[in-house]
Amino acid sequence: MKTTDVLQVYDAGYAADYDNRFLLLPDIRSNTEADLTVLRGVLGPDARWLDIGCGTGYFLSKFPGVARAGYDLSAAMLAQAQTASPDALFFREGDFRDPVPEWRAQWSLVTCMWSAYSYCETVKEVEQVVANMVEWTRPGGAIFIPVLDLEEMRGTSVLYHTDSAGIYPGDFWITGITWSWAESETGKTHHHLIAPHLEHFIRLLAPHFERVEVVSHPPVTPGGPARRAVLATGRHAGPEVARPAVVAWPAPAPSVSLAATLPLAVLLEEVAARLRPGHIWRAVRHRLSR
């Protein structure tokens, strides 16, 4: 989206309602709490934390006393953040695609919560945002990026990389998709947002860290896709490293029976149908005759 379009969406009214609409809904709150759990695990006693695309600063507000700062394009969202975290180092208005030389290697944790990177106009711009995050992270530090991709939005898994020896040999990557959302409640439209492939984030971060972990949050609906995030830890001191990060994937989630997702009334109706007179006797007789 263009900068002007982003600012039209994230006005004062939108900012005032944001937390309740997107972070605190009963169906979503489990993901919010899961993100907070990850943050607690990486914020040490000497932490310096920068959240880019910080929005209302909800996550920053949950860690009073931690040296923390927020960076966002929307003045309306930043006003909410400043109110929620009066003890923060600062809240700065700006574009996270732009370099900020004075932040180089200054932060033990750099985050981009709730897919703020989606408002870049291309995957190439997302790559620049990630490059900035890497540059701003100090040696030994960490980056945390919750990911919104096709698998979460549609339950569709897309192979990230293939190589071909056919008519056009070479490597082929699905680096991301675009998506749009016209909100019924507010009438606002989010145009052509960017959703990079989760493995593209891994590819961008792995050369700079000791470990990259794919974090899986509980599904919002039983049997549905889990929301995932990328946590990179152990930032290397140098710009280049011969040995890329160890990449850790979560264990596969246990399969969920379809019956476990059905409402109780539907299950009772099915049981009653199977207990109709004669059904059990016919089943027993059929079994005994085998």
**pLDDT tens digit sequence for 104-132:** 999 999 999 989 999 999 999 999 999 99
Residue 210 phi, psi (nearest 5): -70, -35
- Per-chain mean pLDDT for the chain: 89
Residues 263 and 178 in one domain: no
83 vs 151: which has the higher pLDDT: 83
pLDDT at 153: 84
* Cα–Cα distance for residue pair 140/53, rounded to 1 Å: 23
Q: Mark whether 229 and 89 lie in a shared domain.
A: yes
Rg (CA), the chain: 23
The mean pLDDT of 244-262, rounded to a whole number, is: 69
CATH number at residue 24: 3.40.50.150
Please tell me whether residues 278 and 214 are part of one structural domain. Answer: no
Going across the sheet that includes 67-72, the strands are: 90-93, 67-72, 48-52, 107-111, 137-147, 228-235, 209-216, 246-248
Tell me, yes or no, whether 268 and 234 share the same domain: no
pLDDT surpasses 60 at 237: yes
Q: What percent of the chain has pLDDT over 70?
A: 85
Residue of higher predicted confidence among 288 and 38? 38
First-to-last C-alpha distance (Å) of the chain? 67
- Residue 11: band (very low, low, confident or very high) from pLDDT cuts 50, 70, 90: very high
Q: Quote the pLDDT of residue 219.
A: 82
Strands 137-147, 228-235: pairing kind: antiparallel
pLDDT of residue 255: 52
Distance CA 31, CA 23 (A): 8
The residue among 81 and 266 whose pLDDT is bigger is 81
Do residue 150 and residue 39 come from a single domain?
Answer: yes
> For 175-195, what is the mean pLDDT?
96
Whether pLDDT at 271 is above 80: no
Strand 170-173 and strand 48-52: pairing? unpaired
- Domain identity same for 235 and 249: yes
**Parent domain of 81:** 3-253
Q: Are residues 249 and 266 in the same domain?
A: no
Q: How many domains in the chain?
A: 2
Calculate what percentage of the chain has a pLDDT beyond 90.
72
Task: Determine the pLDDT at residue 272.
Answer: 62
Mean pLDDT computed over 186-196: 96
Is the same domain home to 56 and 157? yes
pTM, two decimals, is 0.85
Residues 268 and 139 in one domain: no
**213 plus 265 within the same structural domain:** no
Residues 264 and 166 occupy one common structural domain: no
Q: Judge if 63 and 168 occupy the same domain.
A: yes
- pLDDT per residue as tens digits for the range 117-172: 999 999 999 999 999 999 999 999 999 999 998 888 888 889 999 998 788 899 99
pLDDT at position 280 is 53
